[in-house]
Amino acid sequence: MTEKDEDLIKKRAYALWESEGRPEGRHDEHWSKAYQEFANTENTSVLGAPEDDAASVEEPAKADKGKPPLSVVDGGAAGTPGAKRKRKTV
């Protein structure tokens, strides 16, 4: 973190403190909140603004009705109720 970043956090923490009526004993809370706000803006600037377009989200894959569930294909117990696994003896 640069000195400029720390100065921005300090100013924001001070503004939060003033906006809450200058309460005593909450320095850490204001600093933490200011730091979190700073970190969130840094992540947004690096990653770009989040997209609010719900249409850009891909639809989940749909199951193929012609194929059995994977657990049945792999021989899992989910496909055969009451099935027990065999124990290996050494």
Q: How far apart are CA 23 and CA 82, in angstroms?
A: 65
**Residue 38: pLDDT band with limits 50, 70, 90:** very high
Percent of the chain with pLDDT over 70: 48
Rg for the chain, CA atoms, rounded:
28
What is the predicted pLDDT for the residue at 16?
94
* pTM for this predicted structure: 0.47
> What is the C-alpha to C-alpha distance for residues 30 and 7, in angstroms, rounded to an integer?
14
Q: Which pLDDT belongs to residue 45?
A: 59
| Whole-number Å distance between alpha carbons of 75 and 69 | 10
Residues in the chain, total: 90
User: How confident is the model over 28-44, as a mean pLDDT?
Assistant: 89
